[in-house]
Amino acid sequence: MSKEITSMAADYSQWYNDLVIKAGLADYSAVRGCMVIKPYGYALWENMQRQLDKMFKETGHENAYFPLFVPKSLFEAEEKNAEGFAKECAIVTHYRLKNDVDHPGKLIVDPEAKLEEELVVRPTSEAIIWNTYKGWIQSYRDLPLLINQWANVVRWEMRTRLFLRTTEFLWQEGHTAHSTEQEAMDETVQMLEVYASFAEEFMAMPVIKGIKTENERFAGAVETYCIEALMQDGKALQAGTSHFLGQNFAKAFDVKFTDKENKIDFVWSTSWGVSTRLIGALVMAHSDDQGLVLPPKLAPIQVVIVPIFKGAEQKELIDQKVKVLVAELKTAGITVKYDDSDNNRPGWKFAEYEMKGVPVRIAIGARDLANNVVEVARRDTKEKMSFSIDGLGAQVINLLNQIQSDIYTKAKNFRDERITEANTWDEFVELLDKKPGFISAHWDGTGETEEKIKEQTKATIRCIPLNNSQQEGACILTGKPSSQRVLFARAY
Amino acid sequence: MSKEITSMAADYSQWYNDLVIKAGLADYSAVRGCMVIKPYGYALWENMQRQLDKMFKETGHENAYFPLFVPKSLFEAEEKNAEGFAKECAIVTHYRLKNDVDHPGKLIVDPEAKLEEELVVRPTSEAIIWNTYKGWIQSYRDLPLLINQWANVVRWEMRTRLFLRTTEFLWQEGHTAHSTEQEAMDETVQMLEVYASFAEEFMAMPVIKGIKTENERFAGAVETYCIEALMQDGKALQAGTSHFLGQNFAKAFDVKFTDKENKIDFVWSTSWGVSTRLIGALVMAHSDDQGLVLPPKLAPIQVVIVPIFKGAEQKELIDQKVKVLVAELKTAGITVKYDDSDNNRPGWKFAEYEMKGVPVRIAIGARDLANNVVEVARRDTKEKMSFSIDGLGAQVINLLNQIQSDIYTKAKNFRDERITEANTWDEFVELLDKKPGFISAHWDGTGETEEKIKEQTKATIRCIPLNNSQQEGACILTGKPSSQRVLFARAY
C-alpha cells in the first residue's frame, strides 16, 4: 500500500483528501455526504472533547442530552431559525418497514406507518431545547441555566468534504438561559474566549475573534461571534461560533421568568458550538506533503519509539531498555507507543508515523545503547538530534512544549503575513488571487454590497474583528463612506 | 415544590417514574417516547461511560464513529437482522422542508426532495459497519479489528419508560472482526465478563451471566450472551448483551480475508452493547422511598457538606473550616459539594440530597467545630455517626468503600433469596406472583414451549446460566425430558 499523497502545490484540495484518508483519520461511507471517523481521527476528537469539556465545566456548565428528533411544529416556532435550516433537513416520515411482497428478501416503507407529524432530524437543537426549558424555568432562582450537549447533527449539504462539511457531524452545542441581557452577552463573549483559547493553546492555531455581519449571522441570533482561522492555501475557516440570541427563542417558546422584584420577563439566551470540522482545520493548519503535523497537546500518540536492530540478541537488549524508557515517559504524562512489530522495516515505520503526525520519533539502535543515547526526530521541522538516555522524560517534555509553541508561531507568522489591506477594488481582486488570505478593507455596511462582492469574487466578510479600530474610509466596491475595515476572505 | 414520591409498596412503577423525575435524572420530551437526560442523570452516564471506556481500551479496543443513517439496501442485507428490526425503524424519506403557501409561517415536507433510497435511522449498526469493514479487511494482518462506538440509536418502541425503554437511547456498541471462530468466541465471552465486572464492581448490582435461548437471541446472532439483574420488585432486567455473530454479517456483506496459509475465508465477528438503560437498572437496584441510593463509585456527588448555623459569625467560622475539609477530600479523590446556599434550610437540603442519592452527607455546626467533629450520615442505611475532623479524608474514603460493598451485599442477598426452584407447573405459576424473582425450572428446550409459557404467565427465559449444572428433569409445562434448569422471570 503506497502512502504517497498529492503535494499541496500540485492540488491543495486533493492533498487534503489524500491526507485524511492515508493518515487514517476518516473514510467515505455508503451514505451520501456522511463519513466514517476512523479510530485515529476519533482519538483526536476525544482529545479535543476532553479538553473542551473541561473548559466548559470550569466555566460552570453541565452536560445533558436532548432528543435527536424535532417535531415539525416546534421546528417552525422560531421563524428565522426555521427558515435558515428548512432547506437542509433530513425528515423522518415513517416508523416501520415491511416485507416487499413483490421482491422476497427486500423491505419497503410501510405506508400505514406514516407519522401524524413529521420529525426533523436536528440540524441544531435550539427548538427542542427551548421547548424543554419552558418547563424548567419559572423564577430567577432557576437561572442561569448553563447546559452543553455533545451530539450528532444532520444538515443536508449539497457539496461535502471530509470533516469540513459533512451531512452528519459531531459537535457540542451550549444552550444557556439568563435573567439579564448583559449576563447573556457576557456568556456569549466568555464562550468565544474559551474557543479562542482552545484553538490557540491546544490546536496551536491562531484565530481572529470577531462578529459576523447580518448576512452571515446564525439563523435566529441577534449577534454571532466567531473565531476565524487561516488555512495554508490562504482560505479562511470559521472554527467556532457563539451566538447572542436575545429573547428570540424565549419569545418563540414562551419562556418567561419572575425576577427578584416579582416582574415577569422573557429569558435571555445564548448558544455556541464547535464541531468535528475542527479536525479538518487542524489538518490544514499545520500539515505538509509528508503527512499530518499534530500539536503535541492533542496528538493521540505524542512519541513513537522504533527499534533498529539486527538479530534477536540486539532486539532483546533494546527491548529491555525501551521498557524502562516507556515507563519513564508514561510517568511523565507522555503518550508513547513502542512499535516493534516485525511486519515492516524502520524506514516504512518512519514514513508511517510522519504521515500520522506523531510529534516526536525516537529511534534506538545497538550503537545508541552503547553510547547511552537515542536519536530523536521532530515531526514539524524534521530536525534530528541526539538525547542522552539519562533524564529522557524531561528532555522529551521540553521538546514537546517547544514543538507546540513553534508550530503555533509558524502558523501565526503565516497568518499575520497574509492579512493585507486593500484600498481599491482592483487591488482587492488582485490580492484575492495573488496573495490569498484575509483582506482588510472598507465596506459600506450593507448586505447588498456584501452579496455583490461575494457574487463577483467568492470572498465573504469573515468578521468584523473585536475591538476593531475605527477609521474613515470608502467602501471597496461602492465608494460609500465606511467607518472601519472588515476582514474579507474566500473561505471553507 | 414537594419532593414526595409514591412509595414502592403503593405502586412500584409510579415510584420509579416519580424518582427519575424528582431526582432530576430525566424528563419527558415533546417527542413521542424520547426523553431528555437532565444534567444529574447525564453526569451519572458520564461516570458509567468513563469507566466502561477505560475497560474497553484496556482490552484493546479503539473508538470510532459510523453514520447515523443506514441506506435501506444495506439494512436489508443480513436478513434476520433486518427482519428483527424492520418493524421499529424510523425512516428518513425526504431532505428538505418548504414554506406552506396555504399557511404562512408553516413548513411542509417538500415532495420534490424525496430520497431515491430511504435511510433507516440506525437501530443498531452492524449493517453500516460491516459494509465499511469490507473495505478495511483484506488479510489476517488487518485482524483482529476491535472497534467500539458511543452513539445514539432509535427503535420505535410502542410502550416506553424513562431510561428502560425509550425510542432514542444512548449506548455503546462494540463491533469486532476476527480470523478464527475461537477468537471471536473468546472476545464475546471477554466482553460479557467486562460487563459483569462493571455491573458488580461499579454499579454494585449482582448479575447472572448466561446465554439467551434462540427466541430471545439478537437478530442475526449465532449466540447471545447476557447479564441479567434482579430489580427490587422481583422483575429481571437484561443489563447487557454480547453476541457471537459467527460469519453471518461477513457473508451478508462479503467480508473475506486471506489467512497466513493464503487461504480465503469469511471473517468471524462479535457485537456487544450496554445503554442508558443501565441508569434505570441502577435506580431500581438500590433506591428506596426517600429517593436514589447511588453506589459511591458512580455517584456524581459522593459527599455533600451542609452547614448548620445561626448568624453570619458562625457561618464564617464554618466556611473557613469547610474550605480546608473540601480541599482535603478533593485531594483524596472524593467528589464533594459544599451546599451553603441560603435559599433553603438544612432540613430541606437533607431531603434533597437523600432524593439525589448522595452516598455521604456531612453536617457541620458551631458546636461540632468546637468539639472538632462533624456529623456524618450514610444515605444507604441512614445511620448517623460522628467523625473527628482530624484525618477526615481517610475516614470518608473508608466509609465510601463500606457503602459500595454494603449495597452490593444487600442487593446480592436480595437477589439470591429470590432464585427459587419450581418443580411443577402450579408451583411455577404460584411463585411468579407470590415470590417474584428468578425461577429455576426445567424446560424441554423448544421455542414453542417457551412461547406458551410466556403467553400464559408473561415470564420469559432470562438465560441459561454459564457453567449450568446438568441434571435430568421434566419440563415444567410439557413434562418432556430436560437436561438442565433455566432461569425464568418476568422482566423489564
Q: Residue A232 to residues A21, A202, A236, A354, A492: CA-CA distances in angstroms?
A: 19, 18, 9, 19, 12
Nearest to B148 by CA among B202, B200, B187: B187
Q: Encode pLDDT of B173-215 as tens digits.
A: 999 999 999 999 999 999 999 999 999 999 999 999 999 999 9
Residue to mutate among B68, B117, B162, with most A CBs inside 10 A, is B68
Q: Is A72 on the interface with B (CB under 8 A)?
A: yes
Contact A206, A155 (CB under 8 A): no
Contact flag B109-A91 (C-beta cutoff 8 Å)? yes
| ipTM, interface predicted TM-score of the complex | 0.97
Distance from CA of B152 to the nearest CA of A (A): 8
Q: By CA distance, what is B344's nearest residue in A?
A: A141
Q: Encode pLDDT of B352-389 as tens digits.
A: 999 999 999 999 999 999 999 999 999 999 999 999 99
Contact flag A34-B63 (C-beta cutoff 8 Å)? no
Interface of B with A in 98-157 (CB under 8 A): 98-99, 105-107, 109, 118-121, 128, 131-132, 135-136, 141, 147, 151-152, 154, 156
Distance from CA of A88 to the nearest CA of B (A): 5
Question: CB B489: neighbour CB atoms within 10 A?
Answer: 25
Ordered structural domains, chain B, with CATH: 12-66+133-212+224-286 (3.30.930.10), 303-399 (3.40.50.800), 419-489 (3.30.110.30)
Contact flag B72-A97 (C-beta cutoff 8 Å)? yes
Residue to mutate among A49, A95, A118, with most B CBs inside 10 A, is A95
- The CA dihedral of A336, A338, A343, A346, to the nearest 10 degrees, is 90
Mean pLDDT for all residues in chain B: 97
Among positive and negative, which fits the CA dihedral A113, A116, A118, A122?
Answer: negative
Among positive and negative, which fits the CA dihedral B360, B364, B367, B370?
Answer: positive
Q: Report residue B325: phi and psi, to 5°.
A: -65, -40
Distance from CA of A406 to the nearest CA of B (A): 30
pLDDT at position A3 is 65
**Residue tagged 462506538 (cell numbers):** B149
Distance from CA of A158 to the nearest CA of B (A): 11
Give A263 or B158, the one with higher predicted confidence.
Answer: A263
**Residue tagged 430520497 (cell numbers):** B115
Contact flag A42-B31 (C-beta cutoff 8 Å)? no
**What length is written for chain A?**
492
Q: Encode pLDDT of B312-336 as tens digits.
A: 999 999 999 999 999 999 999 999 9
Instruction: Indicate the residue type of A164.
Output: L
Q: Which three cell numbers stand for residue B86?
A: 424492520
Q: How far apart are CA A126 and CA A221, in angstroms?
A: 11
pLDDT at position B234 is 97
Contact B170, B45 (CB under 8 A): yes
Distance from CA of A347 to the nearest CA of B (A): 19
DSSP one-letter code for A65 = B
Q: Which residues of B touch A121 (CB under 8 A)?
A: 68, 92, 121
Q: Is B29 on the interface with A (CB under 8 A)?
A: yes
**Residue tagged 442505611 (cell numbers):** B381
Q: Output the 3-class SS for chain B.
A: CCCCCCCCCCCHHHHHHHHHHHCCCEEECCCCCCEEECHHHHHHHHHHHHHHHHHHHHCCCEECECCCEEEHHHHCCCHHHHHHHHHHCCEEEECCEEECCCCCCCEEECHHHEEEEEEEECCCCHHHHHHHHHHHCCEHHHCCEEEEEEEEEECCCCCCECCCECCEEEEEEEEEEECCHHHHHHHHHHHHHHHHHHHHHHCCCCCEEEECCHHHCCCCCCEEEEEEEECCCCCEEEEEEEEEEECHHHHHCCCEEECCCCCEEECEEEEEEEECHHHHHHHHHHCECCECCCCCCCCCCCEEEEEECCHHHHHHHHHHHHHHHHHHHHHCCCCEEECCCCCCCHHHHHHHHHHCCCCEEEEEEHHHHHHCEEEEEECCCCCEEEEECCCHHHHHHHHHHHHHHHHHHHHHHHHHHCEEECCCHHHHHHHHHHCCCEEEEECCCCHHHHHHHHHHHCCEEEEEECCCCEEEEECCCCCCEEEEEEEEECEC
Q: Which three cell numbers stand for residue B113?
A: 426532495
Instruction: Indicate the residue type of B18.
Output: D
Q: Report residue A309: phi and psi, to 5°.
A: -150, 160
Mean pLDDT of all residues in B338-345: 92
Distance from CA of B267 to the nearest CA of A (A): 20
Judging by DSSP bridges, how do beta strands A268-275 and A168-178 pair with one another?
A: antiparallel
pTM for the complete prediction?
Answer: 0.97
Contact A64, A324 (CB under 8 A): no
Instruction: Indicate the residue type of B155.
Output: R
Q: Is A34 on the interface with B (CB under 8 A)?
A: yes
Q: Is B394 on the interface with A (CB under 8 A)?
A: no
DSSP one-letter code for A201 = I
Nearest to B227 by CA among B197, B183, B269, B270: B197
Residue to mutate among A27, A57, A107, A110, with most B CBs inside 10 A, is A107
Distance from CA of B46 to the nearest CA of A (A): 9
- Which residues of chain A, if any, have pLDDT below 70? 1-3
Please tell me whether residue A272 adopts helix, strand or coil conformation: strand
- For A113, half-sphere exposure in the C-beta direction (CA atoms, 13 angstrom radius) is 20
Q: How far apart are CA A175 and CA A191, in angstroms?
A: 11
In sequence order, what are the residues at sequence separation of 6 or more whose Cβ sits closer than 8 angstroms to the Cβ of residue A269? Answer: A130, A175, A176, A177, A178, A184, A245, A246, A247, A248, A249, A250
Q: Which pLDDT band, with edges at 50, 70 and 90, does B168 fall under?
A: very high
Nearest to B293 by CA among B209, B377, B374, B364: B377
Q: Output the 3-class SS for A355-385.
A: HCCCCEEEEEEHHHHHHCEEEEEECCCCCEE
Q: How far apart are CA A231 and CA A283, in angstroms?
A: 9
State the Cα angle at B396 between B394 and B402, rounded to 5°. Answer: 105
Q: How far apart are CA B416 and CA B418, in angstroms?
A: 5
Contact B224, B82 (CB under 8 A): no
Contact flag A151-B152 (C-beta cutoff 8 Å)? yes
Q: Which three cell numbers stand for residue B24?
A: 432530576
Q: Which of B64, B97, B147 sits opposite A91 (nearest CB)?
A: B97
Q: Residue A67 to residues A391, B152, B174, B229, B369: CA-CA distances in angstroms?
A: 52, 10, 23, 28, 48
Helix B392-417 vs helix B277-286: crossing angle, to nearest 10: 90
Contact flag A30-B121 (C-beta cutoff 8 Å)? no
Instruction: Indicate the residue type of B343.
Output: N
Task: Give the CA radius of gyration of chain A.
Answer: 26
pLDDT at position A1 is 41
Q: Encode pLDDT of B424-441 as tens digits.
A: 999 999 999 999 999 999
pLDDT at position A100 is 94
Q: Encode pLDDT of B383-421 as tens digits.
A: 999 999 999 999 999 999 999 999 999 999 999 999 999
Instruction: Indicate the residue type of B483.
Output: S
Contact B281, B205 (CB under 8 A): yes
Q: How far apart are CA A133 and CA A80, in angstroms?
A: 20
Contact flag B91-A79 (C-beta cutoff 8 Å)? no
Contact B365, B307 (CB under 8 A): yes
Residue B1 has pLDDT above 70, yes or no: no
Environment class of residue B148 by beta-carbon count within 10 Å: exposed (0-12), middle (13-18) or buried (19+)? buried
Q: How far apart are CA A100 and CA A109, in angstroms?
A: 9
State the Cα angle at A249 between A245 and A252, rounded to 5°. Answer: 145
Judging by DSSP bridges, how do beta strands B360-365 and B303-308 pair with one another?
A: parallel
Q: Report residue A234: phi and psi, to 5°.
A: 85, 5
Q: Residue B257 to residues A49, B169, B184, B278: CA-CA distances in angstroms?
A: 35, 34, 15, 37
Please tell me whether residue A73 adopts helix, strand or coil conformation: helix
